[in-house]
Amino acid sequence: MRTLEIILLVIITILPFLKRGFLKKIAKKNIMFFLSGLVLLHLIIDGYRWQMIPTYLLTLILVWCLYKEYPFFDGGWIRKTIRGIALILLLLFGWALPYILPVFNLPRPTGKHNIGSQYIHLKSTQDEIMTSDVGDKRELMIKVWYPAILDNEKTESYLNEGDRVSFAVKHGLPKTIFNYLDIVKTHTYIKPSVAIGKFPVLIFSHGSYSQASGYYALIEEIVSHGYIVLNINHTYESTGTLFPDGEIKLFNSEYDRKQNNQEMAEMAWNAMQDYNKATTPEEQFKTVHNLILNYYGAELTERYSNDISLVIDELKKWNTSTFLAHHLDTTKIGVFGHSQGGAAAGQALLDDGRIKAGINVDGMQWGKIIDTKMTKPFTLISSEWDDLHPNLNIHAYHNGSSSDFYNAKILNSGHSSFMDIPLMINLPFINEAGTIHPRKAYEVTTNIVLQFFDLYLLDKHSNLLELSNKYPELELTKKTIKKLPNTVR
């Protein structure tokens, strides 16, 4: 919560319990004007947000009581009880709502570059398989984050309308519920010029059914250190995609239900039952081989990987005829992503020879990786999964790598520790971010990402392996995973 909000809440919490004799020593007009002025100051400086409605309401009630010289707890015990319950409820919601859903501050980027963003609408010739419309072709919106030269541009609002509305629809909330995010200050400026020079290109892929650009804390920091990040919004796979004509294409739940069906559920259930009975790594591998190769996640991984290649196909054109002209170093392409997007990063590293290195951030690596191996530099960053969450990535990557393979685990983190969700929702048991401080998780993650790509895209000296000495929250190893003996083919 912000300072004025806390001051206002403290005063209205104490005021109803002050004795009448004490209040008489202070002119009621002074208290009324102070409260009214404090609310006005809050609205001017902080801005209105719906989380403060219980606070506004209780303030109005208290001002009215002062004006009428009407003690809040006057009357018989029934009246006192009713008013007491009402007061407790208003105070409970008054304190809880702005705390749980705060106007948060994004981490300040530490790199030397300012950050700009623009959108590119990619229209492909590939059929759109996720709709039944005849002739429908795959279209993507790409948010381009880049090092910028500023000339009085304004910072953008946190999340565009497509991300906000679709996130509300996902959770059955009013579409305007996230309007308060206009108050959140980003460090990304609207359409400034790209900084002088060529920059390495990182393609970022989001998690399934998540906000495509809900990763400001990570991406702003990375861009500030001299990378261009192409943030793909996988149409029908994110919560929603906003197109230039104002249309928002939401997550295609119908297609998802048809593909991620009862057969898939039974496949996962049976595999996990057998997995839990297995007594050796070799037996465990046999129980999940078919699951990793053929589960619905493998289809998603292939589809996301295809989108990544569609973007790479356009880089040459964008490097000559868009605001990015002559700023893309297309010889230095990396890919990273979170959750399903992390799996896509691993898959794209296999599928597309133009990608030099990749990072999977807490994604289960479904698909054909189980029958092959990595041949390019790769990092798997994991949250600290609990014992009930089987680590199938051990088996997905069982063939190891002929190149450098890093395995990083951030202790006490959760699956959403790599998103902005822990900032938006300030309750760990809801935001699934573990017990690590969100800013510490971002700091560790961005350091891994930057050190890794600095080394393998820019040939810079890297202290990647030393990060585990710097951060006690990090377990980091570099290895080629040994092939398990007697595995099936």
Domain ranges within the chain, ordered by starting residue? 3-100, 114-478
pLDDT at residue 487, rounded to an integer: 40
Three-class secondary structure of residue 26 per DSSP: coil
d(C-alpha 293, C-alpha 271), whole Å: 12
Neighbour count for residue 292 (Cβ, 10 Å): 24
d(C-alpha 173, C-alpha 135), whole Å: 33
Neighbour count for residue 265 (Cβ, 10 Å): 11
Three-class secondary structure of residue 394 per DSSP: helix
For residue 337, what are the β-bridge partners?
205, 360
Provide the sign of the torsion angle of the four alpha carbons 475, 477, 480, 482, taken in this order: negative
pTM: 0.91
Contact of 342 with 359, CB cutoff 8 Å: yes
pLDDT at residue 50, rounded to an integer: 92
pLDDT at residue 349, rounded to an integer: 97
pLDDT at residue 118, rounded to an integer: 98
pLDDT at residue 489, rounded to an integer: 29
According to DSSP H, which parts of 101-178 are helical? Answer: 161-170
Q: What is the CATH code for 114-478?
A: 3.40.50.1820
Residue-wise burial string across 102-140, b where 16 or more C-beta atoms lie within 10 A, e elsewhere: bbbebbebebebbbbbbbbebebeeebebeeeeeeebbb
pLDDT at residue 484, rounded to an integer: 46
CA distances from 155 to 57, 64, 158, 183 (A): 32, 40, 9, 11
Over the chain (489 residues), the average pLDDT of each successive run of 10 is 90 79 64 87 91 92 79 72 87 93 95 98 95 91 98 96 94 90 96 97 97 96 98 97 96 93 95 93 94 95 97 97 96 98 97 97 95 95 86 92 94 96 89 92 98 96 92 90 43
d(C-alpha 329, C-alpha 467), whole Å: 27
Residue 254, both tokens: 């119908």
